[in-house]
Amino acid sequence: MSRVSGVQVRKRGMRWVLAAALTLYGCGPQQQDQRLDFYAFGTEISVTLYSVTAKQTLLATEQLQSHYADVGHNWYPWRRGELHAINTAMRSGSRVDVSPRLADIIRRAAEFELISGGRFNAGLGRLTELWGLHEISATPSALPDNADIAAILADRPGAVRIDWDQNRAGTRSDFVMLDLGGIAKGAILEDSVTILRELGITDAIINIGGDLTVLGNVRGRPARIGIRSPSNRSPIASLSIDDGETVVTSGIYERFVEIDGRRYAHILNPATGYPVDHSVSATIVHVDPVLADAAATALIVGGADEFDALTQAFGIDVALLIDSSGDVRLTQSMRERLHWIE
């Protein structure tokens, strides 16, 4: 086993640590299977490369580290970076230049907001702040005031309220605050695929906190992943994943705040302003990781009653939803591909 040293990035007095470890598996003198382990965005990332050269591994490590550090700084709305600057400018009524990649993601967020009928909404940062869900370590002492929630919802904030002049953004809404948490992992997976493909890497698995994209196959066979039970995290089924497919699972059980002894999930219902409690998890398989990420959140919000309508609206064939009673809803394609574990 060999190690790649960690990278420490200092941004305006904040200390960001992005560490990577490299594990090698022998498969010949010229090429090896290798695994890169990173920690970024508050989650673990593993990138497994199959039959790659030492040069490809080195370049992949450097480029992925650099990109993850940039994303960690610029895509988080509550620390100084590009997204914070965008929100600050729009809140003051100003227009602001947006980098092409962030502009693309924000525009896609608006698209998914329309497709989902508002079930997915990346403009609710102010509501997330109100619930204290932006800083899980600082648990609020009381529930938000209903009047404050109502004031935000009355303004109907969302990415669709952003006006564009080429890549300059502004809004007439008093409460729009972009929070890309429901779409960022998908975008990072997409970017990671681009980096690896440009290096000529054809077989890999990129896993960001349990959401993953597969390139090619695993030593000549399709990749197989496990789906875990939301209640005890043990595997309940396995699923074969084809080249270019992404698997995203959104759930209410991993991030939450606890107020007066009750847990409130980090996924908010844009219609009510309250955290979702009627759905537990949603799993999506799709060739578009950004769409998959947004759709998983929308399914959690929509719940079992809107499962069919939302999967059709997003054009999703492979999806699974578990509601708070433990009932499972599946598309026919998901039913055919799942291998249940007794």
- Sorted by where each begins, the domain ranges of the chain are 82-182, 222-342
Q: For the chain, which residues score pLDDT lower than 50? A: 1-26
Q: Residue 65 in contact with residue 18, Cβ under 8 Å?
A: yes
pLDDT of residue 9: 28
Q: Which of 73, 22, 31 is nearest to 54 (CA)?
A: 31
Q: Residue 178 in contact with residue 125, Cβ under 8 Å?
A: yes
For residue 136, the number of C-alpha atoms closer than 13 Å in the C-beta half-sphere is 10
Q: What is the dotted CATH code of the domain comprising 82-182?
A: 1.10.3980.10
- CB within 8 Å of 52: residues ≥ 6 apart: 31, 32, 33, 34, 60, 201
pTM over 0.75: yes
As a dihedral over the C-alpha atoms of residue 40, residue 41, residue 44, residue 50, rounded to 10 degrees, the angle is: -60
pLDDT of residue 136: 58
- Range 222-342 classified under CATH 3.10.520.10: yes
Q: What is 41-81 written as a DSSP string?
A: TTEEEEEEEEEE-HHHHHHHHHHHHHHHHHHHHHS-TTSSS
pLDDT of residue 137: 57
As a dihedral over the C-alpha atoms of residue 275, residue 75, residue 43, residue 186, rounded to 10 degrees, the angle is: 80
For residue 9, the number of C-alpha atoms closer than 13 Å in the C-beta half-sphere is 17
pLDDT of residue 326: 87
pLDDT of residue 219: 85
pLDDT of residue 231: 65
